Amino acid sequence: MTYLLRDMRLFDSLTERDRADLVHFMHERRYASGETLCTRGEHGNTMVVVVQGTLSAVVPGADNRPREIASVSQGGVFGEMFCIDPAPRPATVVAKEDTTVLELGRDDLVKMRQEAPVAAAALVNAVFHDVLTRLRSVDQRIERDLRGERDDAPKDGGGAQVPQPARDDVPDPWEACFSRLRGSA
């Protein structure tokens, strides 16, 4: 499975050995189409890498029907912040089709820090830099608003794809919700 992590931006800074160590501590799980991986509001502590298939992240819409805010397919990752800092899930994640994932829980990371400290440190560093990049993008978004500029350009999803309906249809806060989702769903 190491090959899968090779093309993922989040794991760019990891060596081949780090990636192999990481995969060693992850658990493979299979979800049938329609099955729920996690539910909005419940406590979560895992990072998920999609090996095969597609996941859909949904939140309640205005009419209380599920509304998709992101999808994650093969080679995509989400929840990387949660294996370091568990917190309530901001969205429900459902398998859109039969899907196989690799999961790394907080306990796995603790074990990894003891048994493969260099790989664990490399993973934490990768998440740290990713979080700073996203914090910077929040800053840039604020900067644009303070200057009275609007930006309708698609954001870098980093492995996940955000639906891009008409601007009036999507309140900006969903961008913030999506930003949280990538790291904490």
- Chain positions contacting other proteins, by CB under 8 A: 18, 81, 84-85, 87, 113, 117-122, 124-125, 127-129, 131-136, 138-139, 141-143, 145-146, 171-173, 176-177, 179-180, 183-184
Smallest separation (angstroms) from other proteins to the CB of 35: 27
169 Cβ contact partners less than 8 Å away, ≥ 6 residues apart: none
Nearer to other proteins, 31 or 174 (CB): 174
Smallest separation (angstroms) from other proteins to the CB of 55: 21
Q: Is 171 helix (H, G, I), strand (E, B) or coil?
A: coil
- In the sheet with 54-60, reading across from the earlier edge strand, the strands are 36-38, 92-95, 54-60, 66-73, 160-161
Q: Is 63 helix (H, G, I), strand (E, B) or coil?
A: coil
Give dist(CA 48, CA 12) in Å, integer.
17
Give dist(CA 84, CA 145) in Å, integer.
31
Nearer to other proteins, 32 or 138 (CB): 138
Nearer to other proteins, 88 or 163 (CB): 88
Smallest separation (angstroms) from other proteins to the CB of 48: 17
Nearer to other proteins, 133 or 161 (CB): 133
Give dist(CA 88, CA 90) in Å, integer.
6
Smallest separation (angstroms) from other proteins to the CB of 97: 29
